[in-house]
Amino acid sequence: MTALSIGLITPPVGINLFVAANITRLPLGKISLGVLPFLLMSLIGLLLITYIPSLTLFWIDD
């Protein structure tokens, strides 16, 4: 789900970028620049989820 959300906001073909540009009536370039901090944080989160699975998976040891 995290990777999918990154794909939806990744310029230049992210569907959510087109939706945001249409709703706000701002150019796609301006929306793309505004989404970059969120994209960076999402990528960091994806790396953490991928390489440190104990953050998101819970094991019950008997």
Q: If DSSP states are collapsed to H, E and C, what string results for the chain?
A: CHHHHHHHHCCCCCHHHHHHHHHHCCCHHHHHHHHHHHHHHHHHHHHHHHHCHHHCCCCCCC
pLDDT, residue 51, reads: 93
pLDDT digits (tens, 9 = 90+) for 40-49: 999 999 999 9
Domain segments of the chain as ranges: 2-55
Residue 1 has pLDDT above 60, yes or no: yes
Residue 61 has pLDDT above 90, yes or no: no
Q: How far is CA 22 from the centre of its chain?
A: 19
Q: How far is CA 17 from the centre of its chain?
A: 11
Residue 17 has pLDDT above 60, yes or no: yes
Residue 4 has pLDDT above 70, yes or no: yes
